[in-house]
Amino acid sequence: MTQEQPRWRFARMTPAEINQDPVQGEFFSRESDLPGRLVREAIQNSLDARRDGETVRVRFTFSGDRDALPPEKAARYLDGLEEHVEAVVEGGGMAHQSDEDDEGEAEAAYDALARFGAPMEYLVVEDFGTTGLAGDIGANSEREEGNDFWGFFRSIGISPKGEDAAGSWGLGKWVFPDASVINAYLGMTQRHGEDNWLLMGMALLKTHHIDDVKYRYYGSFAAHSDDDDNEWLPLPVEAQSDSDFILAALQDFRLKRLDDPGLSVIVPFPKSDLIPSAIARAVLTQYFLPILRGDLVVEVIHPDQGNRTIDGTTITDEVRHIASSERDDESPESLRGVIDLARWAIDQGEAVHIELPARNLADAMSNHAELATLRERYEAGERMAFRLTRDVRARNDTESAESSFRLYLERATSLSEGHDYFVRGNLRIPHMDHIRRQKARALVLVDEKSPLGHMLRDAEGPAHESWDPNAQRLKDNWSGGPQRVRDVRQAAVNLLQRLIERPAEQQMDALADLFPGDPSQIGRGRSRSSGGGTTDEGPRPPFEKPSELDIGEPRGAIVVKPPSHPPNGRTYTGTVWEARFAYDTVRGSPFTVFERSVKDGYPDFSLLNESLHVVPENCEMDADLREHNALRFTVTAEEFRLTISGFDERDLTVRLDEVRDEAVAEREDQEGAA
């Protein structure tokens, strides 16, 4: 009996359905390049499916021109798809050009329709040492926890993974159609404990019309079915029922699956951004830790460019072969440094870790009995290991649970700026960098299976690129989550702040050689309110003049109020003031450092969200004149108070200036000159 061939099929929309187009790519394309996104999500999925503690091996195989499928062979994997791509293209729903070039040559390279009938280049991503896509292939319910087959082929935005997995949004597989010019992919899996192969595919286009029929934005490559659209459930092609098709696919795409369980994802017509060197760079920058631990080995194979194997023995040499990066933390020198630090960290036992609380860490360091010794060790270039504890509490729990993370620190004077690297489980969280001014290197490791790891996962977006204190899932699921996220993110900053400080008597001795006079007066009278501050390099240049309002010693909160004795009996009702503030720094202007954090997209705090709390008493806020670290207020009564809280326990530099009417200011200046 002749088996009818599998093909692509899109279901017709019913009149009651809401029109919808895929927007998942917006979560991934904002800050990551395509090779980085693909490597990040593909390897993350493979590590989540790791089998019985085995080393996971992930292979990226390029066909190149040499091994591309001839059109007559490629046609069997494209049957039924062309008319839908054509409908979407004609409706203006598919990009024709690359992000970097809008010339005709680039348009041709990204022309989806031109691919049909041409040799099919492809990229295969295969994993080994994994479970494959386990689960009931006939199930289709949103409550399919643990059903990886359902999660990969039948869900978007819902994840079947448990709380210990690195990914949790159900959107990671978007990178596979995004990697293809025709927005489609095929997946072949062999599941642990089964003697069978399953092949299915998914295409994510847009809602479209063919003649007068409207189709959904997603379609499936599946076994033949005569079911009507309202009853059709896409089912995979199985080796047990269609062995000829499965064997042809194994040979056509040079799959190495054989008897080893796992998943092979085939990306037809990969975009031009995907090249072996870009894949290798992404592997090195994002997954150096599991490679060093021996949990992961990655191969990159191209018929014309040879094979590269990245494992614990080759990783340092592989870093030497990557090109320079626009990001300093991913330059070859920086990567070699963090790889060496990570290799050292892996070998450190519990006894060498210095235990400290993550909350109020700067104060805890100041009161540490061996602070002087720790400073000497840091200055001597010795690597240091810390275990930092923090309680966390899920909103559905009645009690907090103590959790911890590890932080490894070293001086890095050869770097132009310092860097901190964050890893949850095996997954690096790349877009956080807080210690650039310190010429140090820090590695923060969080156990993904710990309560803290679960909380931080909820602080990540779908692309897992940062821990956001204002993430809605974090606020919904965890009590005090925003502050706890800030404690982890700022841990290296707080440690370094105390390690590089000098006791007051040392500051006086150092400055006495530069400023003759009574050494006892050096360093006294330090003010953090509008007058600048001091550093271990000498006094910071003062601002225009100290404020006449009372600010006190701001730490954790800022309280602005009238002075106990106003100058010349002055009244304040009706006066307008602008407050600007930033965390104190050891070197340079705190405000310059803060502005840089804003440009990087990760300010230390912000008045533009809920990370700070403002309480005005007898003063009115100007809602239109508020920045991340600045606000303007008008005094409405003599006994006024303005409180800004939500900062961590670091010292704050505050600048408070009166905003005067230009005519009044000019008159006062003239009177003062006279």
User: Nearest-CA neighbor of 84 among 267, 188, 213, 179?
Assistant: 213
- Mean pLDDT, residues 81-90 taken together: 92
Q: Rounded distance, CA 611 to CA 468, Å? A: 11
* Whole-number pLDDT of residue 105: 42
CA distance 102 to 229: 39
Distance between CA 530 and CA 466 in Å, rounded? Answer: 33
User: Per-residue pLDDT for 537 more than 50?
Assistant: no
Mean pLDDT across 53-79: 96
Tally of CB atoms within 10 A around 506:
12
Kind plus residue range of the DSSP H or E element containing 34: helix 34-48
Q: Mean pLDDT lowest for which of 158-167, 258-267, 311-320?
A: 158-167
Candidates 414, 464, 474, 409; CA nearest to 435 is 409
Which residue has better confidence, 259 or 125?
Answer: 125
In single-letter form, the type of residue at position 301 comes to I
> Phi/psi zone of residue 492: left (φ > 0), alpha (ψ -120 to 50 degrees), beta?
alpha
Contacts of residue 16, defined as CB under 8 A and 6 or more positions apart, other chains included, come to none
pLDDT at 535: 39
Return the structure tokens found at 169: 């949004």
CA triple 169-346-487, angle to 5 deg: 55
- Going by pLDDT thresholds of 50, 70 and 90, the confidence category of residue 142 is low
pLDDT at 539 over 60: no
The three-state secondary structure class of 561 is strand
Query: For residue 307, what are the β-bridge partners?
Result: 301
- pLDDT over threshold 80, residue 553: no
CA dihedral 86, 87, 89, 90 (to 10 degrees): 110
Quick one: pLDDT at residue 518?
46
pLDDT at 354: 96
Averaged over 416-432, what is the pLDDT?
91
Q: CA 502 from chain center: how many Å?
A: 35
Nearest-CA neighbor of 187 among 174, 202, 172?
Answer: 202
Answer whether 64's CB lies under 8 Å from 121's CB.
yes
Pairing mode, strands 56-62 and 384-394? unpaired
Q: Determine the pLDDT at residue 618.
A: 92
Distance CA 249, CA 240 (A): 14
- 8 Å CB contact between 377 and 384: yes
Beta strands in 594-646 (DSSP E): 613-617, 619-627, 630-635, 641-645
In the structure encoding, which two tokens stand for residue 89, read together?
A: 């293209």
Q: Which phi and psi (to 5°) does residue 546 adopt?
A: -65, 150
Phi/psi region, residue 599 (left: phi>0; alpha: psi -120 to 50; beta: rest), is alpha
Reading the block at residue 328, the tokens are 């300093």
Instruction: Extract the tokens encoding 178.
Output: 């995004």
Pairing of strands 619-627, 557-560: unpaired
Give the Cα separation of 562 and 518 in Å (integer).
Answer: 34
Of the given ranges (220-234, 240-254, 493-507), which has the lowest mean pLDDT? 493-507
CA gap 289, 250 in Å, rounded: 32
- pLDDT tens digits for range 325-353: 778 888 899 999 999 999 999 999 999 99
CA-angle at 348, arms to 346 and 351, nearest 5°: 150
- Residue 482 CB: number of other CB atoms within 10 A? 19
Q: What is the DSSP letter of 367?
A: T
Helices (H) and strands (E) in the chain, counts: 21, 27
pLDDT at 444 over 90: yes
Computed on alpha carbons and rounded to an integer, the radius of gyration of the chain in Å comes to 30
* Residue 388 tokens, joined: 């930092």
pLDDT for the residue numbered 523: 40
Whether pLDDT at 453 is above 90: yes
Structure tokens at 44: 């993350």
Question: Would you say residue 166 has pLDDT above 50?
Answer: no
User: Hey, what are 576's tokens?
Assistant: 């307008």
* CA-closest candidate to residue 466, choices 476, 458, 454: 458
- Dist. CA 508–CA 155, nearest whole Å: 65
Q: Which of 25-34, 213-222, 313-322, 518-527 has the lowest mean pLDDT?
A: 518-527
Contact between 580 and 654 under an 8 Å Cβ cutoff? The reply is: yes
Query: Concatenated DSSP letters for 422-474?
Result: EEETTEEE-S----GGGTEEEEEEE-TTSHHHHHHHHTS-TT-----TT-HHH
Task: Measure the CA angle with vertex 532, ends 528 and 538; round to 5°.
Answer: 110
* Most confident listed range (70-79, 206-215, 467-476, 644-653): 70-79
Residue 70 near residue 119, CB atoms below 8 Å: yes
Residue 16 is predicted with a pLDDT of: 85
pLDDT in tens, 554-568: 777 899 999 888 888
Residue 462's pLDDT is: 78
**What mean pLDDT is reported for the chain?**
83
What would the mean pLDDT of 214-235 be, rounded to a whole number? 92
Q: Is 551:529 a contact under the CB 8 Å cutoff?
A: yes
Q: How confident is the model at residue 22 (pLDDT cuts 50, 70, 90)?
A: low
pLDDT band at 2 (very low <50, low <70, confident <90, very high): very low
CA distance 106 to 88: 19
Residue 353 confidence (pLDDT): 97
Q: Tokens at residue 227, please?
A: 């079911």
Distance from chain centroid for Cα 167 = 12
263 has pLDDT over 80: yes
With cut-offs at 50, 70 and 90, classify the pLDDT of residue 667.
very low
pLDDT at 363: 81
Task: Evaluate if residue 542 carries a pLDDT over 60.
Answer: no
Angle at which helix 481-489 crosses helix 451-458, to 10 degrees, equals 100
Q: Is the pLDDT of residue 188 over 60?
A: yes
Query: pLDDT tens-digit profile of 356-407?
Result: 999 888 788 888 889 999 999 999 999 999 999 999 999 999 899 999 999 9
* Beta carbons of 42 and 235 less than 8 angstroms apart: no
Q: For tokens 């503030």, what's the residue? A: 581
pTM of the model: 0.74
569-573 average pLDDT score = 88
Buried (b) or exposed (e) across 596-608, using 16+ Cβ within 10 A? ebeeeebbbbbbe
The answer to whether residue 24 scores a pLDDT higher than 70 is no
One-character DSSP codes across 166-188 = S--SS-GGGHHHHTBTTSEEEEE
Q: Can you give the pLDDT at residue 601?
A: 67
Average of per-residue pLDDT across 253-279: 91
**Tokens standing for 88?**
């979407």
